């Protein structure tokens, strides 16, 4: 059972628990309505058992939200795949993906990441995230649950304030200038980045446009606890757990980090980009 599987199953369980609570039912109440043992309700809610499609449909019906069946089934289908199509994951919207990331980051102590074209979700402001999610929903022709997805993405950021976590993140300088939103929103986003410098849980590096590079990675990637790599392409999320793959991405990250600006030099690069967008 992979870490991704466990995280996704726990996120599905949390969503089931949320639907039950919103319906005003206890675990015993729901079990009685479904004709199940209370222990089954508990196992599903705590991610200890994998729900079937029939379980999810019955749960949605019993909690009075049959309309949520498609969302729950979307979450179930993506549990075990190491190559996960965004189209399949987003069939019911973005929130389910964001919920899975919340669990994933809560269970991770150390993350190393690199992004070349966008400010990472872990550091995004709500307005910046909102623009990205709307654009992606339009591209993927998926349901627009934008506000729920923004809320879940912001919840993920709570890990930045947890003792014992460390997020070592590199951003290509070009991403500081990529105007995927309005100038005021971008200005506020860059202010947010500046505010992260110096946090005990964050090591932020900016790879300057003119820095000599020993290699040119073609995409962003994230390394979780030195045991797993996540790569997002336009249509697919890829997961790599083989030691040789993790080690390879680790070497790439190290090379980029050696060329990156940190501390005061990183602050200056962000401030330079910030000055282009005027007052927020």
pLDDT number for residue 82: 58
Per-residue pLDDT of the chain (280 residues; tens, 9 = 90+): 455 667 778 889 999 999 999 999 999 999 999 999 999 999 999 988 889 889 999 999 999 999 999 888 888 876 655 556 666 666 666 677 767 777 788 889 999 999 999 999 999 999 999 999 999 889 888 888 889 889 888 888 999 999 999 999 999 999 999 999 999 999 999 999 999 999 999 999 999 998 888 888 889 999 999 998 989 888 788 888 878 889 999 999 999 999 999 999 999 999 999 999 876 5
Dihedrals φ, ψ of 51, to 5°? -75, 145
- Return the SS3 of 232: strand
Residue 195 CA neighbour count, 13 Å, CB half: 10
Question: In this structure, are residues 94 and 151 in contact, taking their beta carbons and an 8 Å threshold?
Answer: no
pLDDT number for residue 3: 59
Pair of tokens at residue 209: 């446009």
Closest CA relative to residue 119, chosen from 93, 163, 157, 158: 157
Separation CA 28–CA 274 (nearest Å): 54
**Residue burial 46-75, b: 16+ Cβ < 10 Å; e: rest:** ebebbbeeebbbbbbebbeeeebbbbbbbb
Closest CA relative to residue 266, chosen from 186, 189, 205, 190: 205
pLDDT number for residue 213: 86
- Return the SS3 of 217: coil
Question: In this structure, are residues 47 and 106 in contact, taking their beta carbons and an 8 Å threshold?
Answer: no
């Amino acid at each position: 059972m992979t870490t991704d599987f466990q995280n996704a199953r726990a996120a599905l369980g949390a969503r089931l628990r949320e639907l039950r609570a919103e319906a005003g039912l206890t675990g015993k109440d729901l079990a009685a309505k479904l004709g199940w043992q209370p222990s089954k309700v508990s196992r599903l809610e705590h991610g200890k058992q994998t729900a079937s499609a029939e379980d999810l449909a019955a749960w949605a019906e019993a909690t009075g939200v049959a309309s949520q069946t498609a969302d729950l089934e979307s979450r179930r289908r993506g549990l075990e795949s190491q190559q996960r199509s965004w189209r399949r994951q987003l069939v019911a919207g973005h929130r389910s993906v964001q919920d899975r990331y919340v669990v994933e980051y809560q269970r991770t102590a150390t993350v190393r990441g690199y992004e070349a074209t966008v400010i990472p979700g872990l550091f995004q402001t709500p307005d910046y995230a909102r623009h990205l999610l709307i654009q992606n929903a339009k591209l993927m022709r998926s349901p627009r649950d934008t506000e729920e997805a923004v809320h879940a993405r912001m919840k993920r950021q709570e890990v930045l304030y947890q003792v014992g976590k460390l997020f070592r993140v590199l951003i290509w300088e070009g991403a500081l200038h990529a105007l995927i939103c309005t100038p005021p929103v971008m200005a506020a986003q860059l202010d947010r980045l500046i505010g992260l410098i110096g946090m005990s849980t964050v090591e932020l590096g900016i790879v300057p446009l003119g820095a000599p590079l020993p290699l040119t990675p073609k995409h962003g990637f994230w390394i979780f606890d030195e045991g797993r790599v996540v790569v997002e392409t336009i249509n697919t999320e890829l997961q790599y757990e083989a030691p040789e793959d993790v080690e390879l991405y680790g070497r790439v990250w190290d090379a980029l980090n050696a060329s990156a600006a940190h501390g005061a030099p990183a602050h200056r690069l962000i401030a330079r980009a910030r000055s282009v967008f005027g007052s927020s």
